[in-house]
Chains A and B, each alone.
Chain A
């Protein structure tokens, strides 16, 4: 591949590269010489192609531009003409002067003929200067300058002008995780307050994308020189990458090539689909999962950070079911109205089918178990056949299923026996967790529990719906959902035979098989069922149709559908209306639902022959979910997590504290994800915190804080368990705590406890007292109360930036220099957070220290977070200044706080004008 004479720069470049790599190659191996030459020629080829392509693009651009500029030229000519038509040309002084100048230039001195103009301004035009190269004396001075009247500048404060300060303000918002320098105000010394060595590690990795050209060289070089280590190595050298990278790239390239050839004819129209429609719900919900704070109900929560662990509550709400809507067509596209005429009367809807099943169950005795099983399957089979819309087909199905009844019997018993060993395995909750998706299994358990309850009490369609809902969430494709349908039907049979516990175990076992499933073998009952259905499919020839239909469903629509099944049960009306509005009609949803069943049956039928094939796919999908999630976690986690290392810092700055008690540290609460009642290994338990409402564990969990049952005491004394535990009451948790809002005109909530409103929710509701800022009687600023309050009244919250202890130590170095501290220890000493009100905070931060204070601060747990409330220690009259005891640790207290007997209290902050200005800003 000899290159033709290329333009000089590129030639010289590739030449020099060649020399360098040649020299290296010589040292390594003589064989590689020719490889290098091959690579070099390829490189030259790439460079040449680049030149050619640039040339082409430049040419294209030139053609385009030529037409543009000629159009512009035309426009400019038009302007001239329009001007001539429009107005008297003598009005245009510019034109006139231009003509004069030309006149002067051509016939020197003859221009004075039109000096007869009226105004004195016109006088000057005759003396239009012609400079240099003519005999006319330079007349710059003779052109009288025309004055532009003065215009007032905008006063600078009305416009936004770029200032360094402005920029710094915006960057300043986030303090954590950034290298930062503080300037001490007094002695101008710069202090670096972040450790560089730690944060520099975060540097972005160098991007290692392979470019098209590199791919090309890899491909061609290996084609020509063969695939060997020498080639790979010299390629790697040439790209300055690692050899294994190149190798991996080559492999992926060859793979790509193959697939691209394969898919060329298949995918041509599919590729035109909008890429975002291809995203499935999982990916779309990623931001919700990772950025939404479930505790504060906001996105991008600053308090709890991103990428919180997803906690799924153990108790799930049942799927929405409104019976009144069940039998009415939802609209013109409702499957009910469409499919009625051509439908076999017995199986008009899945709901009806289910209810029929359920109604059958209680009536049949224990001897009738198997028939009911069969009956359970029959409607399903019919449902499958319905899309084919041939009654004959469905009747065949019926026959088939009838005939295969006898087959099912033994197999089903086999399935139960097969499942019973799994029961032992699943005995404890911990056993389930061995599976790769522990959470999934646990959820199945909980669902089955609930189901058991429902079936026991009343056998209506809700039961099956709820199971389907719960299971449907787990499944990542409709196939699985059908699997669940099967399992649930079998479970029905069991539960009817009053062996409820066993049925739960069965469900577990089956769910495990069908969904998360490491098990290769399919429950035989399913298999037979499945082969049976396979026959129908072949019969009605509807399977291909189903596949076609399935293709028109985009990935996100499928996931929406699954969510819909989870929320609404198998109610196509509600799913279509609420989730797929405008995308799919009710009929389509219904067909998809039923075809999903059938397709699964078809595939499972195949799987019966080659076991594990279909299930490995499911398993793969299940894993996929986990893997994808962890990737997001990795990526996001780096960004926002508060970093805190347990490195001991030699220096501890002075901080305010709440109390001298060291024995009762406040522990930072993190919700646990336990799905059953928390045991010894629950993170909350280990951490020493109670489980809160954000935990996943059920309400019966022993570690839960149960709230209070106070009614008349209004939670104001230590009799209230919440109050005693330094917690605020939470209407979600406590039984009788409530607060009315407004004047009652909007309707108050039903008043429990005889109008006794809870008085222990003030922080949550932000019912603080009015605090005024003023010049302190002691020194500097002080906080004053506007209205008088009684003892123990809540005054307000001490707010500020929530920072880690390590960051607090860094900041403390500066604050100590200014002898002012707004740091407030929040949690336990080894723990997490310190409040810094230096830059951000409310007026209560100005309250001064006093050894004999009238207020006290208390850390209170509010909805899982620790917050600092300031309370009145005694009755305080309006206008009084607020003081509280900062409670510095004795050895670290600043001088002015150390001697309580000294005259009054000194300032929390000395009066540095600069420091104070900053604080107020």
Chain B
């Protein structure tokens, strides 16, 4: 990133909080000693909008947010890796099978993706395939049986939790050249995913040509291992927005939010050229500064409508940005005297009124909006 040419400057948000909304700590709980790497609300099924899951160590826990800052533990799962006990989950997401049964899908250092049927409190499937640790799993919002996983083995894989098949592998000649750290489904374009990783690039993939394969996966009755998994070797777009590890990216409509380790989230627009796939330009639109956020594996999260994003930093503070205004405005900066440990991931509830943060020291913090204008509870949907 050399000189930014005139007329292409991004709009940079100011760090003065607009005080549109204020948050207060309403709960704090210590889950264990091991760091918590992910926390995520269930956006798949409106019954469970107040249910969230966390992962840390070899444990997956399902909680519920109740009124008055109360958090209820609903379920807890422990990877029974007796011999080595080395499982350390890095990521978790919600999915569901075709019947609508809620699934918790988690993955971690072993590279095995655990699909837990939360409706029956049992393991449903285990996806073995990744050659190294799984860094992120995301669910396709339009077809919540599809999950995509990003792994240290440089590949991104698309799975069907309903039938348990690995549908596609996004890797190869045009793939990532180092660990893939984050991946996300396009909210409306079902064919599109964006992935980013340690090779400093963000790659946008299209599975349009492979869609028959995806369709086939829903009706697969044979052994999952016999499914003809296909390779997607070439992304439709490669963006070099950052000059360091890119550890989180999310679609914002047709734009992409991504962050590296240089204290900011960047919003940019991929502009592909029709004639030459793979090439294109990046138009950096906005930047959302996040001070003290210069370590990798810090992920941000958005509320259901993508109005706001919350991101923690190295020092335990949370920045809540209004995403879709120009120039971007900081809704609030959340800090607490006892919150000192790096926040690996945050989760915003459906309407953004509750923010959860999970920290390196194994604590979960719950922040609730105190402004009168917004609904104070997330339990009513």
Contact = CB atoms under 8 A, between A and B. Distances in A.
Contacts of B96: 79
Contacts of A95: 47, 119
Interface in A49-73: 49-51, 54-55, 57-59, 61-62, 64-66, 68-69, 71-73
Contacts of B46: 73, 76-77, 79-80
Given A79-B100, A94-B75, A167 B177 contact: yes
Given A9-B14, A61-B252, A83-B47, A162 B119 contact: no
Given A58-B324, A73-B46, A79-B46, A130 B66 contact: yes
Contact of A61 (B44, B68, B81, B253): B253
A367 B71 CA distance: 116
Nearest to A159: B131
B111 interface: yes
Interface stretch (B5-13, B310-318, B333-341): B5-13
B305 interface: yes
Contact of A58 (B114, B118, B126, B326): B326
Interface stretch (B21-29, B206-214, B290-298): B21-29
Interface in A379-436: none
A98 B64 contact: yes
B6 A46 contact: yes
A8 B14 contact: yes
Contact of B74 (A97, A160, A162): A97
A132 B8 CA distance: 50
B324 A148 contact: no
B99 interface: yes
A283 interface: no
Contact of A54 (B11, B29, B66, B188): B11
A206 B306 CA distance: 39
Contact of A68 (B66, B75, B188, B326): B188
Nearest to B179: A162
Given A55-B326, A159-B131, A129 B73 contact: yes
Contact of B80 (A50, A68, A97, A147): A147
A92 B119 CA distance: 4
Nearest to A134: B70
Contact of B131 (A62, A143, A156): A156
B1 to A, nearest CB: 14
A217 B47 CA distance: 56
Given A61-B252, A143-B75, A160 B131 contact: yes
Contacts of B48: 94, 98
A62 B253 contact: yes
Contacts of B10: 54
A724 interface: no
Nearest to A158: B131
Interface in B107-144: 110-112, 114, 116, 118-123, 126, 128-132, 141-142, 144
B307 to A, nearest CB: 9
Interface residues of A, number: 86
A178 to B, nearest CB: 18
B153 interface: yes
Contact of B66 (A47, A59, A105, A144): A105
A634 interface: no
B69 A150 contact: no
**Main SS of the interface on chain B?**
loop
B28 to A, nearest CB: 7
Given A51-B326, A87-B99, A154 B129 contact: yes
A51 B11 contact: yes
A145 interface: yes
Contacts of A828: none
B157 to A, nearest CB: 11
Interface in A12-71: 13, 43, 46-47, 49-51, 54-55, 57-59, 61-62, 64-66, 68-69, 71
Most chain B beta-carbon neighbours within 10 Å: one of A66, A150, A213, A216: A150
Nearest to A102: B66
A551 interface: no
B375 to A, nearest CB: 15
A365 interface: no
A276 interface: yes
Given A62-B253, A86-B99, A213-B5, A98 B74 contact: yes
Contacts of B43: 72, 76
A94 B102 contact: yes
Interface in A125-174: 128-134, 138-140, 143-154, 156, 158-162, 167
A134 B73 CA distance: 13
A538 interface: no
A504 interface: no
B152 interface: yes
Interface string B40-55: 0001111111010000
B70 A94 contact: no
Nearest to B171: A160
B119 A154 contact: no
B285 A94 contact: no
B286 interface: yes
B304 interface: yes
A284 to B, nearest CB: 14
A418 to B, nearest CB: 50
A101 B68 CA distance: 13
Contact of A152 (B79, B123, B128): B128
Contact of A159 (B68, B80, B116, B153): B153
B7 A212 contact: yes
A902 interface: no
Contacts of B77: 145-148
A60 to B, nearest CB: 9
Nearest to A157: B131
Nearest to A77: B46
A162 B154 contact: yes
Contact of B69 (A69, A71, A102, A133): A133
Interface string A77-103: 101101100110001111101100110
Contacts of A46: 6-7
A154 B141 contact: no
B371 interface: no
A159 to B, nearest CB: 3
Nearest to A52: B326
A214 to B, nearest CB: 6
Contact of B72 (A55, A130, A216): A130
A890 interface: no
A567 B132 CA distance: 58
A96 B82 CA distance: 30
B74 A101 contact: yes
Contacts of B81: 150
A86 B69 CA distance: 33
Interface in A499-558: none
A50 B112 CA distance: 47
Nearest to B122: A146
B327 interface: yes
In the complex, the 7 A-B pairs of residues with the closest C-beta atoms, listed nearest first: A213-B7, A159-B131, A101-B72, A55-B326, A61-B253, A65-B253, A83-B100
Given A94-B119, A97-B74, 6 more contacts: A9-B11, A51-B11, A61-B255, A65-B305, A128-B72, A140-B73
13 contacts: A64-B188, A73-B46, A83-B99, A98-B74, A128-B72, A130-B72, A146-B76, A146-B77, A148-B116, A153-B111, A154-B111, A162-B177, A211-B7
Interface of B: 3, 5-12, 14, 26-29, 31, 43-49, 51, 59-60, 62, 64, 66-82, 96, 99-102, 110-112, 114, 116, 118-123, 126, 128-132, 141-142, 144, 152-154, 177-179, 187-188, 252-255, 269, 275, 285-286, 304-306, 324-327, 379
Interface of A: 7-10, 13, 43, 46-47, 49-51, 54-55, 57-59, 61-62, 64-66, 68-69, 71-73, 75-77, 79-80, 82-83, 86-87, 91-95, 97-98, 101-102, 104-105, 121, 128-134, 138-140, 143-154, 156, 158-162, 167, 211-214, 216-217, 239-240, 275-276
